């Protein structure tokens, strides 16, 4: 692979550069300029008033999200991390309560639980989209479990009816982290809408974006009220005359500004078109990859669809008899862009590995509940370990600015590597 030449001789197949994907255009420029010219970049006030819920564009964007996703309430925030913190806070957890989360996801999924002095308990994953293994959820449930947080990685929709059935059996709540799955569908409904609370990321490398931002969705009036309070300084800004039941809501400044909201309004209009393009490119890849032995492409049940934030692949190392690392290096040598082959498992992060999140010195109550020993579930996630080591490949379909020709070329690069598997032994 010297000089970045193909592993099998000659020039690499994908001899092109890929710029980062962005759907920001003139519409967003005009919308942002209109807000700037108005001089009103935010209309929030941290007090009980008309401005408590933000300004013109924030409220307009929320109403449009409610209509688009078919939910009663949409609450927009300055990031999806903020959205997750607000969602967990709405559940009224007590210190030491447990929330089951997948071990394979971005760190904010679990730290949003830590934020409320609760404990994230890591569950194993399966090969379908590298999402939580539904069959493994019940074995993680204890008398302290209060909620299940699922993540629909890469845009891959989970079988939420099965998860909801488990939640009802044990009287648990369900939060969906749909950061990567905005626009994906399950049973012909958008991901996130069937959970008690769901939501999406508007981070700069997501399907639609405003730089940084998030959308929380729920059909629960009480949760919506609580999350709006958490977004804007909580009980510190309300009066004792409030008729609604409130439970020590510590709030923050998680407020989205008017510029971000105005940009997001334009982005939401483009969502279906963007996803349709990603799905077209995914089908092109399907046609190239579907019959490559030992490689499993994404497949979805009727009534479900993916927004294809990414194109996850399962490589059967045992069947092929060639280390995944060799296949990965060969694909990279052929110039396949935005390809990854590993994931940082959450329980390997220092905050969990070194147990500094709940040291007895800072959280004395943890000693009483866990006797100084906090088990996040590492020893029970063997599938995640194996998948990460031997099977996981992922093509970042939404991260790059592609076209049909480039996608065809990437498909050909995969075919070339598989044609020369005998040279990788």
Q: What would the 3-class secondary structure string for 45-100 be?
A: CCCCCHHHHCCHHHHHHHHHHHHHHCCCEEEEECCHHHHHHHHHHCCCCCCCCEEE
What is the structure's pLDDT at 8? 72
Question: Is the same domain home to 168 and 286?
Answer: no
How far apart are the C-alpha atoms of 391 and 388, rounded to whole Å? 6
Task: Give residue 46's pLDDT.
Answer: 87
Based on the fold, state whether residues 104 and 189 are members of the same structural domain: yes
Question: Are both 292 and 161 inside the same structural domain?
Answer: no
* 333 shares a domain with 241: no
What is the per-residue pLDDT across 295-332, written as a single tens digit (0 to 9) for each? 999 999 999 999 999 999 999 999 999 999 999 999 99
- Is residue 369 assigned to a domain? no
* pLDDT tier, 27 (very low <50, low <70, confident <90, very high otherwise): very high
Last residue of a domain, one of 228, 246, 266: 266
**pLDDT over threshold 50, residue 377:** no
Whether 226 maps to a domain, the answer reads yes
In a 13 Å sphere around the CA of 84, the CA atoms on its Cβ side amount to 25
Among 106, 112, 144, 139, smallest CA distance to 124 is for: 139
Helix, strand, coil in percent for the chain, rounding step 5: 40, 15, 40
The confidence score (pLDDT) of residue 245 equals 63
Residues pairing with 73 in the sheet: 218
Domain check: are 242 and 127 in the same one? yes
Q: Do residue 112 and residue 200 come from a single domain?
A: yes
Instruction: Please determine, for residue 357, whether its predicted confidence score (pLDDT) is greater than 90.
Output: no
Sign of the CA dihedral 338, 340, 346, 349?
A: negative
Residues 288, 230, single domain; the answer is: no
- Identify whether residues 170 and 237 lie together within a single domain: yes
Give CA angle at 336 (332, 337), nearest 5°.
105
Q: Which of the listed residues 247, 266, 285 is the one where a domain comes to its end? A: 266
Q: Are residues 9 and 53 in the same domain?
A: no
pLDDT of residue 1: 40
pLDDT at 291 over 80: yes
CA distance 147 to 232: 24
Task: Give the CA distances from residue 148 to residues 142, 151, 185, 384, 390, in Å, rounded to whole numbers and listed in that order.
Answer: 12, 10, 20, 18, 28
Determine, yes or no, domain membership for 288. Answer: yes
139 is a domain residue: yes
Extract long-range pairs of 352-361: CB within 8 Å, 24+ residues apart. Answer: 352/110, 352/376, 357/114, 358/119
Same domain, yes or no: 188 and 65: yes
Last-in-domain residue among 212, 238, 266: 266
Degrees, nearest 5: CA angle 306-380-147: 60
Same-domain status, 165 and 248: yes
CATH of the domain at 329: 3.90.1150.10
Q: What percent of the chain has pLDDT over 70?
A: 90
Whether residue 350 is contained in a domain is answered as no
Nearest to 149 by CA among 128, 119, 126: 119
The widest CA-to-CA distance across the chain, in whole angstroms, is 77
Residues 256 and 295 in one domain: no
Predicted confidence band at 2 (pLDDT cuts at 50, 70, 90)? Answer: very low
In a domain, 364, yes or no: no
- Whether residue 375 is contained in a domain is answered as no
pLDDT of residue 74: 98
Residue in 21, 19, 14, 17 with CA at minimum distance from that of residue 285: 14
State the residue range of the domain holding 412: 2-20+271-342+385-424
Q: Judge whether 324 lies within some domain.
A: yes
Mean residue pLDDT of the chain comes to 91
Which of 157, 411, 195, 419 is CA-nearest to residue 309?
157
Give how many domains the chain has, as a whole number. Answer: 2
What number is the average pLDDT over the span 387-409? 97
């Amino acid at each position: 692979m010297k000089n970045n030449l193909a592993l099998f001789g000659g020039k690499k197949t994908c001899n092109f550069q890929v710029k980062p994907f962005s759907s920001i255009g003139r519409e967003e420029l005009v919308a942002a300029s209109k807000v700037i010219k108005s001089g009103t970049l935010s209309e929030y006030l941290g007090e009980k008033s008309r401005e408590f819920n933000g300004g013109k564009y924030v409220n307009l964007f929320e109403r449009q999200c409610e209509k688009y996703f078919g939910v009663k309430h949409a609450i927009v925030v300055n990031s999806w991390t903020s959205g997750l913190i607000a969602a967990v806070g709405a559940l009224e957890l007590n210190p030491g309560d447990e929330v089951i989360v997948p071990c394979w996801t971005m760190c904010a999924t679990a730290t949003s639980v830590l934020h409320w002095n609760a404990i994230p308990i890591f569950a194993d994953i399966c090969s379908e989209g590298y999402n939580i293994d539904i069959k493994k959820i019940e074995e993680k449930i204890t008398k302290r479990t209060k909620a299940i947080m699922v993540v629909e990685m890469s845009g891959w929709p989970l079988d939420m009816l099965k998860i909801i059935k488990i939640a009802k059996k044990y009287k648990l709540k369900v939060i969906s982290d749909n950061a990567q799955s905005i626009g994906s569908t399950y049973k012909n409904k958008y991901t996130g809408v069937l959970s008690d609370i769901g939501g999406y990321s508007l981070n700069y490398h997501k399907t639609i974006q405003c730089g940084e931002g998030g959308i929380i969705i729920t059909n629960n009036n009480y949760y919506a009220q609580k999350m709006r309070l958490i977004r804007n300084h909580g009980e510190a800004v309300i009066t004792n005359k409030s008729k609604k039941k409130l439970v020590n809501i510590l709030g923050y400044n998680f407020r989205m500004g008017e510029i971000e909201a105005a940009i997001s309004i334009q982005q939401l209009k483009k969502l279906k078109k963007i996803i349709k393009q990603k799905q077209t490119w995914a089908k092109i890849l399907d046609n190239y990859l579907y019959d490559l032995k030992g490689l499993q492409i994404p497949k979805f049940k009727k009534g479900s669809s993916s927004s294809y934030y990414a194109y996850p692949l399962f490589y059967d190392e045992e069947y092929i008899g060639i280390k995944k690392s060799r296949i990965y290096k060969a694909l990279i040598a052929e110039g396949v862009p935005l390809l990854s082959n590993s994931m940082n498992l959450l329980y390997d992060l220092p905050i969990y590995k070194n147990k500094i999140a709940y040291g007895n010195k800072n959280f004395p109550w943890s000693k009483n509940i866990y006797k100084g020993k906090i088990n996040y579930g590492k020893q029970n996630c063997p599938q995640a370990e194996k998948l990460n080591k031997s099977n996981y490949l992922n093509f970042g379909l939404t991260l790059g600015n592609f076209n049909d020709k480039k996608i065809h070329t990437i498909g050909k690069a995969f075919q070339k590597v598989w044609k020369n598997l005998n040279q990788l032994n």
